[in-house]
Structure formats: C-alpha cells, structure tokens
Amino acid sequence: MLSGNLFGLEIEDLVSFVASIGEKPFHGRQIYNWIYKQRIFDFAQMGNLSKNLRENLKQKASVCLPIIAKKERSGDGTIKLLLEMSDGQRIETVYIPDGDRHTACLSSQVGCALKCVYCATGKIGFKRNLSCGEIVAQLFCLESVVGKKMTNVVMMGMGEPLMNCEALFKAIRLMADPDGIGFSKRKISISTSGWLPGIKELINVNPRVKLALSLNATTDKFHAELMPIVARYPIRDLISVSAQYARISGYPLTVGYLLLAGKNDSEEDARRLVKLLNGRDAKVNLMEYNEIDAEVKPSTSKSVERFVEIVGNAGITVTMRTSKGESISGACGQLAAGYQEKFN
C-alpha cells in the first residue's frame, strides 16, 4: 500500500493510505488540508490529529520536499533555486516578480530530449520525468524562500511538459483544487515547444488551463534547424491543433516567438507569421534571446520594433516580453541545473 513520502498524493490516495495503516479514512482529508492548504509538513503540528495517529504517521510516512541546494537572486528580484531530488538528480525552478504578480516557473523534467539549439536544458539531454510531487514541490520551495504565496504558475522551466502528461495533469489537479492549493486555472499556463501528441492529449483531457505554443519559426525549414525534434510536425499542424485546444479551453491562442538576429526576425518572417495566424483568435508574445553557448544571437532593437509594428498593424495583439533573471542564468532557455560543465 502507499507509504513513504506523502507529498504529491491526491486526496483519494491519502484516504487510502490512512485506511491502510488502520486509521479512519477521514483523517486523509485532514492531512490533505494540512499539507496543501496550510503548508504544514510536520505531523506533530497537525493539531486536529490525535497523538496516537501522529505517532503512527511518523513511523510509517513523511512529508518531504526536495533539498534546496542553492539560491540565487538577480537585481530585478528574480530568484532561482537549485533543487536536489531524493535520487540526487537536480533541477532549477524560478520565481519571477512583477508588482502584485508572483509567478512560479516550474520544471517538468530533469533535462530535456528536444535539443532546441537556443536552450541550455536541451544541451544536457533527457535524464527523467519529474513526478507530480516533484513538480508541485517546486512551488512550495519557492514560497518558503520568497516568503509569499505564488499567484501564477507557468510550466516553462526545464523539460517539455507535454512529454510528461500523466504527472503534469495530476499536478494541475492538485494546484487547482479549491480544497487544497487553490489556484485559479486561469493562473496556470503550460508552455510547449510543439510536442503534438501532448497537445492532442491536452485536448482529450482539457484541464482548462492556458497553453502557449513556442513557435519561433515561420517556415518548416528553419523550424527544423532551430527545433529539430518537434519539427517533425509541420508548423501549420501545430498552430491548428493548438488553436483547437484554445477554443475548447476558452482562451486565445498564445504563440511565443523568440527573435533571433538574421534568422527569424525579418519583415518577411513577420508577414508570414501574420498569415499563419490569420483568422484566429491569437496573441503573440515576442521574446528576447537569453544567450547561452549557441550560434544564434538576439535581434537588434530596430528589427524588434519593425516586427512588432507589422504584426500589430495586422490586428494581432503583440507584446515584447521582458526577460528577467538573465544575470543568474534564470531566464528562459538558460536553465541547466548545474550540468553546464557538460557542454561548456
């Protein structure tokens, strides 16, 4: 029966565990409340549990978060944590402040299999998927360091979230449960590099959270150069299926587009992007490239301004997303969890 670390278990699993150790099942709901709503992980502090139950739990289970191996803070307030899992694998997770908005950027995998040329995580390769508990634990680790509850979650850290759908969807259920952590689903976003099977699974499950498609190219040829694994799926198919999820979830289609000098930032690229999104309820988030050891460079301010002008004049909502945490290698594409020595 279930035992060991209780963190990451849904309420039904906690009820089953409590029953399996000879206790009344309703205590599972109490423990669920203590862990996820109250953020209490020490059985001794769970005041509405009997002394005997607390002792029983202490002998047979625990509530453990990853070890915070390192903390880094940038001048803009961004905080990056290096977390060590129980098996010694390491991931990074990031807190991004923006006024009253406190965003947790969570990882879904140790490493990544997609090998996108602009991303440090892809250069370390794929190690393993994270469990539901390891995904949600990042949120609590960040809150413990920041001293504030997070208001938003973006699945935009290490790994491709939609290659880890089972754990991802379970984590979303935990985070969005009003009897637990209590996030509004409108405050949870999944960023995908374009893993089409995962987007289709998202449509089947429809967790009603936001989806952002990292497109970064307007031709299949350049898509294959930049994002070789997901480029097996044509750009038009990725947009079409992502737009289908956007419709059923009730949100606009959000397209992320990383601007790279001389690669995908021309006026022709801007016009092709407009054509690809024509007739769709879409918005575009332009992103600046955060440099790693790769043979691509960020666009010039002049190219960015012209790109924004062309897309905006076509009636598409377009924003230039401000990068934060670059000084601590905590910005998009820079997370590598201490494995940098493998590709420096």
pLDDT one digit per residue (tens) for the chain, 344 residues? 445 899 999 999 999 999 999 999 999 999 999 999 999 999 999 999 999 999 999 999 999 999 999 999 989 899 999 999 999 999 999 999 999 999 999 999 999 999 998 888 888 899 999 999 999 999 999 999 999 999 999 999 999 999 999 999 999 999 999 999 999 999 999 999 999 999 999 999 999 999 999 999 999 999 999 999 999 999 999 999 999 999 999 999 999 999 999 999 999 999 999 999 999 999 999 998 877 666 788 899 999 999 999 999 999 999 988 766 555 555 565 567 665 444 33
Q: What is the pLDDT of residue 288?
A: 86
Predicted confidence (pLDDT) per residue in 38-94, tens digit = 999 999 999 999 999 999 999 999 999 999 999 999 898 999 999 999 999 999 999
Q: What is the pLDDT of residue 327?
A: 54
Contact 332/287 with Cβ under 8 angstroms?
A: yes
Q: What is the pLDDT of residue 335?
A: 64
Of 105, 132, 165, 332, catalytic = 332
H/E element, 240: helix 235-249
109-134 core/surface letters (b: 16 or more CB in 10 A; e: else): bbbbebebbbbbbbbbebbebbbbbb
Q: Whole-angstrom Cα distance, residue 48 to residue 27?
A: 9
Q: What is the pLDDT of residue 337?
A: 61
Of 92, 134, 160, 288, catalytic = 92
Q: Whole-angstrom Cα distance, residue 328 to residue 338?
A: 12
Q: Whole-angstrom Cα distance, residue 313 to residue 283?
A: 13
Is 92 catalytic? The answer is yes
H/E element, 212: strand 210-214
CB atoms within 10 A of CB 183: 22
For every residue of 59-75, DSSP letters joined together read: HHEE--PPEEEEEEE-T
Is 267 catalytic? The answer is no
Q: What is the pLDDT of residue 65?
A: 96
Predicted confidence (pLDDT) per residue in 104-137, tens digit = 999 999 999 999 988 888 888 999 999 999 999 9
Q: What is the pLDDT of residue 340?
A: 47
